[in-house]
Structure 1
Amino acid sequence: MSTNKIRPFVGLILAGGYSSRMGEDKALLEIDGETLLQRNIKLLKQIGATDVFVSRNDFSEGSLPDIYPHQGPLSGIHSALFQSQLCYNSAPIIVLPIDMPLLSEDLLICLVEAGLTMDNAVHYIEHPLPAFIPNSNLTREYLEAILSDISATKPSRSIRRFLTRIDAVQLSTGENDKLINTNTPEQWCDLINSLSRN
């Protein structure tokens, strides 16, 4: 099912972390011969994203560099909103973390449709990501202010705080099992073993 018949939106994959707990680049971990990065790009295209931005620590083809480097995931969101403003008439964005390998089309479509209908940021209860974020002047200005403030603390740049500040709506879901994170080798092994049993 594609949601772009309602209104265009852009996808953003946050894959710029250092994967220190995993010990290797999480974006390049594979399931059935497909990397998590490839899976997320395909997922976003399947739900109708006009374009897909990838926030990475490198300058590989297709990567969207941070305007404010080394400031965490908010910097990737900030850059994607400005890129969307320039290229796609300020289309809203749906943001995916690289470390949720079980995300489904249904979960993302629900976020996009709710966000477009309410014209508001939305995410699932207890899960700040994935999130749908409208591309407004106020949101861009807030991110610009917090990221350019050299005195800002790490907690003030958290995604949870950002979503609270922009009055994001929290949705419930019966698919919490598809919102698991895999941040360590042990969690990844458990996931792979679970998938092999199914």
Structure 2
Amino acid sequence: MISLSNKNSLPNNTTQQHSSCLGVVLAGGLSSRMGIDKASLQRNQIDMLSYSKQLLTGSGIKNIVISGEPSCSSSQDILVADKYKEAGPMGGIASVIEKHKPAALLILPVDLPLMTMEALQKLKQVGELSQQACFYNDNYLPLYLPINAHTENFLKTAFIHQTKQNDGNKKMDNKTFSHSNMSKSKSGPSMRALLNQIPHKAISINTPASLFNANTPEDWALAQKRF
């Protein structure tokens, strides 16, 4: 079950005040359709993990963590492993919230090569002013997410079920099945389910291409033409 009572584990020199927003790069996917770790893809001589961190820094974020364990991470990166395995983006987000106790998150997937600082700044500004989750129309990520009672209640309820399901799978794995026979499908709550349960704003974007998602080599080739 998700707990919200642990101490913040950010280094002392980056400990955040309760009113601050923590940046999160979502980099915990398997990259199965791309064939290589999407975080390591090179965008104008820097990898996508570094590019994503630059975007968050440029949008006014001081503290950044990486959800997942990408191959190109450095010793300076603060990595948060998924506590809730195969639970999709929500599993990574829940793991970050449980470990770092932020007041809000600005969440950026690592596979948006055309994203801009201006687009992230707008989400952050609208979200902070309204104190609501904020995302672009028809795109749940990137996302500004305040960690309030609405968010906490959803996560507690969703991951009570997830924890029980994981415990049940472990028992079956030990008694009946080999690990290779276990289902690899994602079973966590969806972003849509979260946003349906909390106050939110869906806003328009001036540069729709910024939301282009690169999941395959073909997607990446198209994105490279726009760098």
In structure 1, stretches of 5+ residues that fail to align are: 1-6
* Match for residue 100 of structure 2 among 71, 81, 84: 84
TM-score by length of 2: 0.75
Bigger relative contact order, structure 1 or 2 (CA pairs below 8 A, ≥6 apart): 2
**Residue 63 (structure 1) aligned with residue 79 (structure 2):** yes
How far the C-alpha of 1:64 sits from its partner, in A, is 0.8
SS at match of 2:225: helix
Of 25, 28, 31, which residue of structure 1 is paired with 2:43?
Answer: 31
Of 149, 156, 162, which residue of structure 2 is paired with 1:137? 149
Structure 2, unpaired ranges of 5+: 1-18, 167-184
Q: CA deviation at 1:58?
A: 6.1
Q: Which amino acid aligns with 2:98?
A: F
SS in 2 for 1:157: coil
- Give, as a single letter, the amino acid of the residue that structure 1 aligns with 2:43: I
Answer whether contact 2:87 2:188 (CA < 8 A) is retained. Answer: no
Indicate if the aligned counterparts of 2:114 and 2:226 stay in contact, CA closer than 8 A: no
Aligned to 1:45: 57
1:163 equivalenced with 2:195 (yes/no): yes
Establish whether residue 127 from structure 1 lines up as the match of residue 139 from structure 2.
yes
CA distance in 2, matches of 1:115, 1:40: 20
Cα shift at 1:48: 1.8
- Residues of 2 paired with 1:58 and 1:148: CA distance? 27
1:72-92 Cα deviation digits (max 9, x unpaired): 11011112223332xxxx321
Q: Does the 8 A contact of 1:121 with 1:168 survive in 2?
A: yes
How many Å apart are 1:117 and its aligned residue?
0.4
Aligned to 1:18: 30
Corresponding residue number in structure 2 for 1:98: 110
- CA deviation string 1:141-185 (max 9, x = no partner): 311321231459967711122112213210011211111000000
- The alignment partner of 1:149 has SS state of helix
**Bigger Rg, which one:** 2
Question: Hey, what's the Cα distance between the residues in 2 that align with 1:106 and 1:145?
Answer: 34
Aligned pair count reads 185
